[in-house]
Structure 1
């Protein structure tokens, strides 16, 4: 239920942690790595705040050559939103002139539970960096994403324990003509998710994302309903990879998915962390496998039962 990892790379580059003050660690060439700039979320008085670390990064590294940047933790991220970080990044856009990849909020559960991470409106970053090809954010609390237009962005990743409906509608309504890969962790209502499949309507129509080749609608407590919506979605016909993993998918959603438009053109279908019966999984593989579709269905789950009801859980909530 918790998230136990940091990013290990981004934008096809390995990750390098910008060192603490006084470190003798040799710095790599600026364009050769993803720079992770982070501060302790539970900060001692003698430790730097994130903005201080970022200022030192700007002074130390030739940022004109930096291609990718990861913002890790910031002080009191469970209580202090990312707006100051966003503002500081925007102010540095004349320094980070080669930036193509940006991720905001790379914290694991030891730093800050994903549902606790306080975000803000992150779309001004897309306006400030028109050359971004990849953008990601972790944490759904107070996250805002009004509809935007960005002509270069190829990859968009939003990880959360629960995305609000307004955020989902904003992303779905954004005009992203170069977008190839979209991944949304929709989450559960226990952590702020209140969207319905209809909030994805513009996205599923595909008109604003003509280049989309991978769609991942993951980690959803309404995964069956999502599968039903995807089954008839025009955007699916142009996809190469469809990912409905990490959620509560059961035989009900799988029947809808198989009963909709053909999926035999897909290169892969990821259903990992699912609640499918063995019979249904065998049916999916039998129908799609011979057509060349790689079906990934690891991490089978069993529902909990109490008070006469079944309870299913997403992979990441807290």
Structure 2
């Protein structure tokens, strides 16, 4: 069974005071950089420094298939998962464009796609199986398989260079898994958790909700975070949860994408509550339920662009803001060094 790594809270009163003083002493009116100021303070607390540096940022896109697609809960066939992985590898997806634009390394992870890719230069093969089982009839994974996927994710995060990792995903059917996880982990009404996913019409959303409701009754005895993740999750979701834990254990900053990534975080944060101290929430997606997820976590997203793509696209778009927060803390002059009077002092 997976050993949950020790993740200390980032709270440090003395360092927080030093960071506040450093931010307030920059050549600007106090508070005038708004959200960037609290973000800079968070980065400093994570890195335990008043001069934090972001090194070699990367985005991991975890891909996996879901047996519950047998229930027609997506407008797309399961084969789109492996086809989109090929698109990532060819550089043709939105995430490829945004990551390249912002100088961010992009890694595609086969966590559990129902396809054989063979050895590929740009693909990280961490395949845990050829998709999960249909959770309408049985748990998506055994608890043991879920724990192994989490361990593989933690090991992968530990092996990544740099100190910032963005998380993205690809998997037809995974908004259905995420909605089930959200309901079970937050207790919010199921109808608030189920949305259009990749574009389901209203009657399709109602069908998806009925499938999830039936599955929730079948797996009513799954109550620990690991059991819930095994019952309803996907290999890519379990691997992301483990990778987040592994990243935080090494004091890496975590950039969270949309609905499915946040569902993985819900499970991981139930195992290690201090995990959210290390998380920057890139955006609030247009998928129904994501805003409620963020509210449940007490999260303040950086962007609200109406995205519902996944792939880590929100992470890549938010990365310049994260870099700007660290950058002004390290590079901006102080009132003293610039010889500028600070009226507020």
What TM-score does the superposition give when structure 1 sets the normalisation length? 0.29
More helix by share: 2
More strand by share: 1
Q: Name which structure has the greater RCO, CA cutoff 8 Å, separation 6+.
A: 2
What TM-score does the superposition give when structure 2 sets the normalisation length? 0.28
